[in-house]
A and B are shown apart, each in its own frame.
Chain A
Amino acid sequence: MIRTATNVAGQALVPTVVAAREGTLDRAAYESAGRRDLTDPEPAADTRPELSPVPA
């Protein structure tokens, strides 16, 4: 229970910290992550339009 919770928090933490240090973390998305619904089919479409796919 608490062990798995700690494991998973670390599994989420390391990619976030590495991305932040690499400068690839979308900080606007980070700041608003808790306010956006996890089940929203397009989670970050409105916050980072520059990353949305461009039709070929």
Chain B
Amino acid sequence: MPFGLRKIPFSVQILLGLVLGVALGFLARSNDLSWLTSTLHTIGSLFVQLLKLAVPPLVFTAIVVSVVSLRGVANAARLALKTLMWFGITALIAVSIGIGLGLLTNPGKGVTLDLGGAAAPKKTGSWTDFLTGIVPTNPVGAFVEGNVLQIVFLAVVVGAAALLVGEAAEPFVALNRSLLEIVQKALWWVIRLAPIGTLGLIGNAVASYGWDLLAPLAKFTTAVYVGCALVLFVVYPLVLVLAGRLNPLRFFAGAWPAIELAFVSRSSVGTMPVTQRSVERLGVPREYASFAVPFGATTKMDGCAAIYPALAAIFVAQVFGVHLGVTDYLLIAFVSVVGSAATAGLTGAIVMLTLTLSTLGLPLAAPACCSPSTRFWT
């Protein structure tokens, strides 16, 4: 890295990448420069690939090392329960905001969609996914697929067994410690590339996806943005102040690289290594963060599993002229709070959306009518 670049703060480098990416994206779009679009696309996806590459070894080694150093199993179980409880509390607030906004804005009123070409989605969510999904069919498969939740499961089991084996397991634990250090080192190199990766990701977004298709769904898209902004900048600061007695501004200053990368990469799992670094930098003990962050990356989705499915369900019901009663709204909330854990590992808004729609008995072909650009830009 040139000497001069070291002096620019990392967050400013990322911001520069963002601004330059938008500019290059517009340039590629307005002048129809396909070579520039494909270059931006390659840079962006290569960066996300590099981050995802770090995820399986990082999750496995960090959890094994943590389990061995935790020792107090009762304490760990209590922490896990508390984490789940706060996942639930924040999800409940988020889904209430989604339902409230849906009722206020009526995003589907007056929208007519041509359902002729709407195909049913390939991936759908079901209630037993969690139980069948958490246990891998073979240990190598979990790593091959990069299934974070299965790797978490394997690592907890292996770590607990290593702890009980004791002396004979010490070389294994030492190997994991050493691997963790190596992965972290390599990960720092990748994170340093974040400004360039950001440039590619946002540039490709601007160059490849237009806003023209958004028009009929503008109300819906705006509602998703307003809902997410309310959660991000009203609900979360309130939770930080009231539940943690923490200054919200400091939280955003510390977590910003992860939030910003999530925005441009649209991938919780790809962002996970940066989220974990940010959370540790915020002063959360590594032993706890190494569990909570991968667990959260697969089960905690206030945007995709609370705001979005609530608004989409109301949107679809209005488009199809189906009346939703109080029970339906309670069902939406229930699916959102419990369902994101139940579909963990099958991450994605489509999975949560189909789970919500099938629970409410709404047509499943509907998600395809939420245009790709709407899904992309939210």
Chain A residues near B (Cβ < 8 Å) = 1-22, 24-31, 33-39, 41, 43-44
Contacts and interface: CB of A to CB of B under 8 A. Distances in A.
A5 B275 CA distance: 11
A33 B232 contact: no
Contacts of B185: 41
B243 interface: yes
A3 to B, nearest CB: 3
B303 A38 contact: no
12 contacts: A1-B264, A5-B232, A5-B262, A10-B87, A11-B300, A15-B296, A18-B83, A21-B82, A25-B282, A30-B250, A31-B250, A33-B250
Given A2-B263, A7-B301, A26-B283, A12 B307 contact: no
A2 B254 contact: no
Nearest to A6: B303
Contact of A4 (B192, B262, B292): B262
Contacts of B305: 7
Contacts of B289: 15
Given A10-B302, A18-B79, A34 B236 contact: no
Given A6-B228, A21-B82, A22-B82, A12 B304 contact: no
Q: Give the interface SS of chain A, mostly helix, strand, loop or mixed.
A: helix
Interface in B207-233: 224-225, 228-229, 231-232
A24 to B, nearest CB: 5
A33 B296 CA distance: 21
A4 B296 contact: no
Contacts of B247: 31
A13 B82 contact: no
A6 B11 CA distance: 19
A14 B251 CA distance: 11
A31 B247 CA distance: 8
Given A17-B86, A34-B256, A6 B302 contact: yes
Contact of A34 (B231, B250, B272): B250
Given A10-B303, A11-B268, A33-B283, 7 more contacts: A3-B307, A7-B262, A8-B258, A8-B275, A12-B251, A16-B246, A29-B282
Given A3-B378, A14-B86, A38-B257, A43 B244 contact: no
B246 A20 contact: yes
Interface string B316-356: 00000000000000000000000000000000010000000
Nearest to A35: B253
B175 interface: no
A17 B306 CA distance: 20
Contact of B254 (A7, A28, A30, A41): A30
A28 B301 CA distance: 29
B265 interface: yes
- Ranked 3 nearest A-B pairs via Cβ: A34-B253, A33-B254, A3-B303
A27 B82 contact: no
B199 interface: no
B79 A22 contact: yes
